Amino acid sequence: MKVTSPDSLVARAGHRIDRVVYTAEQIDARVREMGAEISEAYEGTDDLLVLGLLKGSFIFLADLVRYIQIPLHVDFLVASSYGNAKVSSGKVSLVYDASASLKGRSVVLVEDIVDSGNTIARLLPELEARGPKSLEVCALLHKRLTKLPWEPRWVGFDCPEDFLVGYGLDYSENFRHLPFIVSLAED
């Protein structure tokens, strides 16, 4: 099914969009570039582990790994800080941990969006303690809301402070399936 109207999809879910922030074509072009950049950075490596932070990163991660042109493994973590709200609770809980060993491996943690930085701040020390050879963050979106003690090595887009949904990002589990990213209008 080809999606032609962001407004109709979002309206059916009982919300209005403010605007389309990134089209499916813009996202695809940037994810393709990021895949090439990661491929170049890890050329010659045979231990690359791409670790997706679920749920929001699953579509981005699926597209990204198809554009990475070197051998890799994929695993997942699930962390939660939003629940059904539009703002982070500030409390990050690890709901599901990766089964793959990080010890001695090149690890790229894939995140959908960096806003408060709480999720990564909670997870990075724990992941570093597992002894990876290297640990980098790849984020599709970065709001640049605060100065962080770390920065993602790869960022798809510096994005507005709006509440964004689509391409894996959700509001109360809605809108993940949209092939573009939109800003939800205020209620």
From 115, 162, 170, 187, active-site residue: 115
115 is a catalytic site residue? yes
- Do 157 and 60 contact (CB within 8 A), yes or no? no
Classify residue 62 as left (phi > 0), alpha (psi -120 to 50) or beta: alpha
- Do 138 and 82 contact (CB within 8 A), yes or no? no
| Residues recognised as catalytic | 115
